[in-house]
Structure 1
Amino acid sequence: MTTWRATAAMTRATALGALGVAAAVLFGAPVVVVLTAPLLLLAAMGLLHRPNTSPVVETEVDHVVLHEGQGTRVRLVVDDLSDVEHVTRLSSPVRHVALHPAAGRMGCLLEPDGEPPVVEASPRRWGRRLLGEENVALTGRWAGYRWGPVSMVGSQLQVLPVRAPFDSRAEAPQPLGVVGAHRSRRPGDGTEFASIRPFHPGDRLRRIHWRVSLRTDALHVVSTRGEEDTAVLVVVDALADHGRSGGVDGASSSLDVAVRAAAAIAEHHVRRGDRVSLRVVGTGGETVRYGTGARHLRLIQARLATMQVGTPRDLRGDQVQLGVTAGTVVIVLSPMLSDVVGTMTASLVKRGLPVLVVDTLPTDVVPAVVEGTDPRIADLAWRMRRIERREALARLATIGCPVVAWRGPGTLDEVLHRLARWAQLPQVRAR
């Protein structure tokens, strides 16, 4: 209802007051008038302050882009509150969105020049979250007239993955960039010691090593390794989501672990000046090209928050084109339950690229049982699938692809150190 209508209290007070006056006149009992006088007074005050405005009500969210666990305020905007004394709001609950008050119901009297009550919302999981439908009702002075309730569509929030704590001191296996923080195999004007060699024309005087020069009676200089950036490709397996998600405060599904780990890895490398790219293997096939900077990081987080989960039709591992060039570090985030991802990873390793797999499958995950399926058959099928997964991981390990489980800070240090040592060894390639 978008018009002011008399409330039940107003109708009841008017009817009882009129009935009392009629009874007093009919039966000659003035005491009845005394008893019903308060009701008549309330009815008269309600009629006297009858609203004449037509309010326009809208909802407004302070922030439409949030990280998991952050909160925002959903405000009620009314163009004219001169005739409004009480505001009632009722918000429908939505999965993975916490409300305050928890039930989403609230109402309060308006102070002079006051604002309508505010509902606080906090998304608990990444993705696009649509706030629930909200019903709003306005009550006039002396509770005589009510406007509404009217239904209002909830606002949409874009929830970015939480900034998981992650840090790595490992260097890139094959840095081939221009300027960065990784030690290169090539000599350059860096800070990492390489060797002491005889002086050549063009060497800087500050590089002269005087102790060796005095001992050998010939000028020697200190040579250093260059410091370069690297390219990092983060591949996220979004073919399926295994396990149940309890939000940022609860249990994590395989996709939760993958998305949060991808956001943490991307943020770490962007801050170090590396070029980071994203590729999602799923229905949407979201892709973010190589780039650096805070704006590029926000773009990666937005793609992770809006990606589509599902398996495309007729998808094969040899058909997935990642466009990886030499020197790129490929980090595959996957539960490794799909042959497509396994084939794609093996092909990258055989090309000689530094590839590592981050296992995102939770240890306590259980398969979802379809109604009508025998639980014993479902458990047997899941155990067989786990055996196939272990064999796939073992085959990747035999061809030189390390597999680690995500555990936050330090997850990739040992693996990247091993890849860096392996990259420095002479490689024999068949022609």
Structure 2
Amino acid sequence: MSRADRIRAAFTREGGWRATDAYGRAVLLGVALPVLGGLLHKVELVLLGAPFLVSALFALAVRVRGVPTVTVRPLPRTAEPGSATTGVDVDPAEGAEFLAVRLPAPGTAGDLGPVHLLPATSGPIVVKLRREAWGEGVDLRADHLFAGPDGLLVHGPVVGVERGRVVLPPVDALPAGLLPARAAGLVGVHRTRRPGDSTELRDIRAFQAGDRLRRIDWRVSLRSPVLHVREHHAEADADVVLALDTRLDLGSRVADWSTGHAGRTSRPGGSLDTAVRAAASLAAGYLRQGDRVGLADLGRPQLGVRPGIGRRQLLRLRNQLVVCARAAGWAPRPSLHRVPHGALVVVLSPFLDDHVVEVAVQAARRGSLVLAVDVLPPDLRPDEETPWGEGALRVITLEQRTRLEAMKQHGIAVVPWDERGHSVAATLRRANRPGRPVVR
């Protein structure tokens, strides 16, 4: 143990309070200067050292003991993007005068914030948190240090406990897209081609054994020798499977495709960010219509969610989207299993490899209506540090265009994702019209 450590240990108080280097200098100067002034008969040296000695004696006389604490109130596990408020409770113990604590600055996101100097007796502190980026993250870590009189005695610094939340992907209001006619056993909002009990007229035909009397169309029957009944379309719900390609996360700069992105769940504005936001918005729209919506991770099938209905299903899907993005990474062979027969499969991918195209084509061959949503950023920029950057970008663009055309030849609708989802809704409306091509 060095001499400085022994001196510091000698001035350590109860509860972890310790003397600072300023305390040692105050004692040294408060004793040395008056002694030197007396030996040299210099009054100014005595007057110069007296304040240091008084400060050191005052700090020594004040009762500073106990263990001060800073406690952050628990945060909700999940939250919506935007602002939130929490509290920090301060217990200064006895003798503490100042508190230096790290708190987020108002209006900032993704930063633990600067250090604030506050009175130790300030009581509960209201902290405003703001995070727009979805995913997991640390919102608050209250690193702190307590100081006694004149800052000569301190407790800490103490690294606070990290408090974070899972910010769910935002849900944008999308136009309701019509789904292909298919009966799934439950009553929903989509029209099927089979007769049923909806309010939309399908046909007027002659009365048959087993028809209900309330279906008789008396206006037509009075003009005909036989009775006629009204036949309506049946209403059914639909199964929607959102197939998310988490193997690639591509931004607008091609030079960044081979580098990581520490500190975030996904690249802001990248392909994975766009795919997650689109999946959350589509899930909310179809669940609002009463459809069953499920999730499939093409890279990690074990992270999928079975189709379900209701608000709880939407919360489950949004949470699972964060889990899928957290586990995102390259997988050589994407797979899509356990898709209900006749379901609408929405594949969200940048389509930069042939394997994901094969998955979409196989789903279409099994009888599902497949919608391919291209989430590759439209404003790609080449690598400017290499002479072949422009050529590489041109090759990437042409190969992706070839894959999209190949899917169209197999009857798969291909649309780019826009913020409002109008292109997806328009494609699904065309899909609901019999005898009309779906491919775009």
Which band: TM-score by shorter chain? Answer: 0.7 to 0.9
TM-score (norm 2): 0.80
Structure 1 residue runs of 5 or longer lacking an equivalent are 426-431
Alignment of 1:90-239 (within 5 A): 90=102, 97-99=109-111, 103-111=113-121, 114-115=123-124, 117=125, 120-130=128-138, 135-152=143-160, 154-199=162-207, 203=211, 206-216=214-224, 219-239=227-247
- Alpha-carbon distance between aligned partners in 1 of 2:82 and 2:274, rounded to the nearest angstrom: 19
Q: Distance in 1 between matches of 2:273 and 2:408?
A: 25
Instruction: Note the alpha carbon deviations across 1:374-420, whole angstroms, 9 max, x for none.
Output: 61234323321211111111111122111111112323222112222
What CA distance in whole angstroms lies between the structure 1 residues aligned with 2:413 and 2:276?
20
> In structure 2, which of residues 307, 329, 336 is the aligned counterpart of residue 310 of structure 1?
329
TM-score by length of 1: 0.81
The equivalent residue for 1:279 is 296
User: Which residue does 1:347 correspond to in 2?
Assistant: 362
Residue 421 (structure 2) pairs with residue 409 (structure 1): yes
Who is 2:76 aligned against?
A: 63
1: CA distance, partners of 2:98 / 2:212? 79
What does the per-residue CA deviation read over 1:170-229, in whole Å, with 9 as the maximum and x for residues that have no partner?
A: 233434231111112111111222123345566555544443344447654432211111
Name the aligned partner's letter for residue 108 of structure 1. L
The 2-side partners of 1:197 and 1:85 are apart by: 90
Aligned pair count reads 409
Residue of structure 1 equivalent to 2:311: 294
Which amino acid is the alignment partner of residue 287 of structure 1?
G
Instruction: Give 3-state SS (helix, strand or coil) of 2:182's partner.
Output: coil
Deviation at 1:235, TM superposition (A): 0.3
Shift of 1:44: 3.9
Distance 2:216 2:43 in 1: 117
TM-fit CA distance, 1:99? 3.9
1:46-57 mapped onto 2 (5 Å cutoff)? 46-57=59-70
- Map 1:298-377; keep pairs closer than 5 Å: 298-307=315-324, 308-313=327-332, 315=333, 320-366=335-381, 375-377=386-388
Spell out, residue by residue over 1:43-96, the C-alpha distance to the aligned partner (whole angstroms, 9 max, x if none): 4442233321123555455233233x3244565455554443222124799xx9
Q: Which amino acid aligns with 2:277?
A: R
User: C-alpha displacement at 1:309, in angstroms?
Assistant: 1.9
Deviation at 1:272, TM superposition (A): 1.6
Q: Which has the higher contact order (CA 8 A, sep 6+)?
A: 1
**In 2, Cα distance between the equivalents of 1:414 and 1:264?**
16
**In the alignment, what sits opposite 1:429?**
none
The alpha-carbon deviation at position 334 of structure 1 amounts to 0.8
Counterpart residue identity of residue 167, structure 1:
P
Letter of the 1:182 counterpart = H
Secondary structure of residue in 2 paired with 1:384? helix
1:388 matched to 2:396: no
User: What are the superposed Cα offsets for residues 126-166 of structure 1, whole Å, 9 maximum, x if unpaired?
Assistant: 33324587632111244331111123453343232111232
Aligned-pair Cα RMSD in Å: 3.6
CA distance in 1, matches of 2:387, 2:41: 84
SS at 1:282 equivalent: coil
Between the aligned residues of both structures, percent identity stands at 32
Preserved CA contact (<8 Å) 1:178 1:228: yes
